[in-house]
Amino acid sequence: MSGVHWKATRESHPARDAAMASMEAVARGAKDEWLALFASDAVVEDPVGPSVFDPDGKGHHGREGISAFWEIAIAQAERIEFHIEDSFACGSEVANTGKITTHLPDGSAMDAEGVFSYRVNDEGRIQALRAFWEFDRAVATLH
């Protein structure tokens, strides 16, 4: 997978498979493909809680809200790389640990280390994507 550096287990699990597909679509800038991975009533919290991307901290709901999140958070990047160190699948969810490197148009980059969880529904569509990372810590890595 280009832009996705996966050191964790690749053992198939519906949530892990969806997470990998999500990261691959983001790394390639494939917005429509990424949106198609989500259930119609899904929620994205990236990061969880109030942030510059979500001042109210309530998440981005449904494909329309998730599409708007793409425009304010993902589309602004030159490219995004995922470095996943470990992956823990349980029930209908997976939690991945690692780092996301966002390359900005001005040539700088920022690293967000954290835990990235995905919950899927019975059809394997992403029901919830929750990213636990700290904005100030990520900004401190600007290079």
Q: Which of 19, 17, 13, 12 is nearest to 97 (CA)?
A: 19
CA dihedral sign of residues 130, 6, 77, 63 = negative
pLDDT digit string, tens, across residues 88-129: 999 999 999 999 999 999 999 999 999 999 999 999 999 999
Does the domain made of 4-140 have the CATH classification 3.30.360.10? Answer: no
In this predicted structure, the answer to whether residue 1 has a pLDDT above a threshold of 80 is no
- pLDDT at residue 13, as a whole number: 98
Q: Domain limits of the chain? A: 4-140
pTM of the model: 0.94
